[in-house]
A and B are shown apart, each in its own frame.
Chain A
Amino acid sequence: MTTVTLDKAGPSRKVGSMSSDRKWAMRWSYVFLTLFAIFFLFPPIYMFITSLKTSSEISAATNPWWVYNPTLSNYIELLTSNQFLTFFKNSALVSIFVVTITMLISIPAAFALARMRFWGSTTLATGVFLTYLIPDTLLFIPLFKMFATFAQWTGIELINHWWVLIFVYPTLTVPFCTWIMIGYFASIPKELDEAAIVDGASWLQTLLRIFVPVALPGIIAATIFAFTVSWAQFLYPLAFTSSVDQQVLPTGIITTLIKGDVFNWGQIMTGALLGAAPPLIIYAFLMDYYISGLTAGATKG
């Protein structure tokens, strides 16, 4: 009798303690996650708080974390300012062109490297990956000098034109996009292109009618990557453009809204928030693609 109850009590007590352990672990997880979420989210929230304030409220000695007289005047001012709209337009144009060029270069190259194998193709695939590891901070000085020399030879001035960025940004986007597209293409079963070839498709038809539709999630992830990189790039526009009408958003906000020592913080935060909006919106809607692109670089290939 006693042994039976003991046997019954033993495991059930253990299960009980396990699940209450779990419950406590879960509670602590939520507590710490909330703390980390606060740490990760308060700067953008503070941007938003400031963007709703008037200059006088900002310079008043009140609680900076609270808005006493919310106003949209910062947003209205920026969105009606030609200067700010020019930055936005330049950023948008550069990003669209860069994304297009990146895809036009990466997809065929990735297909060739993943599937067709030619002399030196494995070396090239490794090379593509190495190129991705070369940072912009290593190349901006020689590129700056190259553009200056180019202007001397041809008379075509590249420096201080927003469109020069269209030629420069692909160095940042193409290697990574090619690399992750190689990964996506390599995950398509070999029989699929063999079936297409037996069906009479040429290599180009195989790429366009089979690989592109099948690898569409990868292409979306690569597109998002290319867009966010070109939208966020700061060093190249800072080095290569200086006139106000040639600036893109990141440099434009910093160089025009900060006038000497006068910081118009309300407008700076509004501009930064508006500048961060496109990537954030894309992220909000296409989070899974965004994350798969992010992790693809290291987990695939």
Chain B
Amino acid sequence: MAEVTLRKVVKRYDEVEAVRGIDLDIPDHEFVVLVGPSGCGKSTTLRMIAGLEDISDGEIMIGGDVVNDVPPKDRDIAMVFQNYALYPHMTVAENMSFGLRLKHYPKAEIKQRVTEAARMLDITDLIDRKPKQLSGGQRQRVAMGRAIVRNPKVFLFDEPLSNLDAKLRVQMRIEIKKVHQKVRTTTVYVTHDQVEAMTLADRVVVMNHGRIEQIGPPNELYHRPATKFVAGFIGSPAMNFIPCQLEESGGLLQVRVSEAAAFPIPAERVARYRGIPRDTKLLLGLRPEHLVDAQSNQSAAFQPFDATPDVIEPMGMETFVYFPLAGVQLCGRINPGIEAQAGAPLRLAVDLNHMHLLNEATGAVL
């Protein structure tokens, strides 16, 4: 068990900087998820923690010791790979015990640890099979078993679920969470899937272009994103961004999104936004669940407006409507009971209590 610390970690490949100075403190027992689009440096960061990539600059500490020059085998880590990387010529038991056998653990202890891990992952029956005879989900369990058996200081997961189909992915996600709740090992988990990040993490680290955009618990990232990137990346369907301007009419602060449409800013937000220069180009950020049908949301918090949806997506428990407004395509979420038709006008309402106002040029959330 150990904490992991990254100090100004940089990774350079010839000309390109893949990771540009990352600071990260992961306390003991924490489950941290690195998430971001492909090429954001998340995998490289993980591989530097594992020792599979050299660190160009900065330091990485595991359990308080700088491990920059420590080879992977001496870092006391275990890693689960995207394609599982099971040794095809070994049985499940041999796969799981390979690391222990290399370290010359006593046979009895190896057997006990393997049995225990197999029981925890519910793969006791598969113990003598070869990887080829296993399904994707079973291979995934074996790969995790191989990590658990070692009882390492840190678990590293590199997109472990992306080779599974959608249903199995949900199932294994729960499995991983359960295992972590049992063994409480410090875990760094890399994924490009924000749903995985939200569901698994104690804290999520959103990365983009080799930098950390924001670190925080899942709900904080969702409700209080710090940048446009985080706001747009977390949440599905993604947050809508509408070009807008602040204006004051009759002592009332409001956002104008088009010639025709302007919404008054809620009282509790006025103080926060009043200082923004009026000529700043702004974006109004609204999640789909805050663009709703006017019929079932009639309280004072909601500002009604008219729109003509061009695509309707009924999902069962909710219905998404896509409609143009102020030159951009927006997505709203309406009550599935509402009769909506593509091309037919629909009365919608916006919940400005959950609005975000962003600086278009800098991407900062104001």
Contacts and interface: CB of A to CB of B under 8 A. Distances in A.
* Direct A–B contact in the complex, CB atoms closer than 8 angstroms: yes
Interface of A: 189, 191-192, 194-201, 205, 209-210, 213-214, 216
B63 interface: no
Contacts of B99: 198-200
Nearest to B76: A200
B72 A198 contact: yes
A253 B83 CA distance: 55
A199 B80 CA distance: 11
Nearest to A205: B102
Interface of B: 50-52, 71-73, 77-79, 81-89, 98-99, 102-103, 146, 150
Contact of A199 (B71, B73, B83): B73
Contact of B103 (A194, A198, A200, A213): A200
B236 to A, nearest CB: 29
Nearest to B143: A195
B85 A197 contact: no
B85 A200 contact: no
Given A191-B81, A191-B82, A205-B102, A198 B87 contact: no
Nearest to B50: A198
B98 A199 contact: yes
A192 B87 contact: yes
A205 B85 CA distance: 16
Contact of A191 (B72, B85, B98, B103): B85
A195 B146 CA distance: 10
A34 B85 CA distance: 47
B72 A197 contact: yes
B142 to A, nearest CB: 12
Contacts of A199: 73, 98-99, 102, 146, 150
Contacts of A191: 81-85
B73 A201 contact: yes
Closest CB pairs A-B (n = 3):
A199-B99, A191-B85, A200-B73
A199 B146 CA distance: 9
A197 B77 CA distance: 11
Contacts of A194: 50, 52, 72, 79, 81, 85
Nearest to A190: B85
A285 B138 CA distance: 35
B316 to A, nearest CB: 38
B162 to A, nearest CB: 13
A190 to B, nearest CB: 9
A209 B88 CA distance: 11
Q: Which of B52, B78, B146 has its CB near the most chain A CB atoms (within 10 A)?
A: B52
A213 B89 contact: yes
A195 B79 contact: yes
Q: Which of B50, B72, B86, B103 has its CB near the most chain A CB atoms (within 10 A)?
A: B72
B85 A195 contact: yes
A216 B88 CA distance: 12
Contacts of A198: 50-52, 72-73, 77-79, 99
B114 to A, nearest CB: 14
Nearest to B103: A200
A192 B79 CA distance: 11
Contacts of A205: 102
A209 B50 CA distance: 21
19 contacts: A189-B83, A191-B81, A191-B83, A191-B85, A194-B52, A194-B79, A195-B85, A195-B146, A196-B87, A197-B52, A197-B72, A198-B50, A198-B51, A198-B99, A199-B102, A199-B150, A201-B73, A209-B98, A213-B89
Contacts of B82: 191
Contacts of A210: 87
Q: Which of B50, B73, B85 has its CB near the most chain A CB atoms (within 10 A)?
A: B85
B88 A214 contact: yes
Contacts of A209: 98
A209 B51 CA distance: 21
Q: Which of A189, A195, A197, A201 has its CB near the most chain B CB atoms (within 10 A)?
A: A195
B85 A189 contact: yes
Contacts of B102: 199-201, 205
Contacts of A197: 52, 71-73
B46 to A, nearest CB: 11
Nearest to B77: A198
Given A192-B85, A194-B85, A198-B78, 4 more contacts: A195-B81, A195-B85, A198-B50, A200-B73
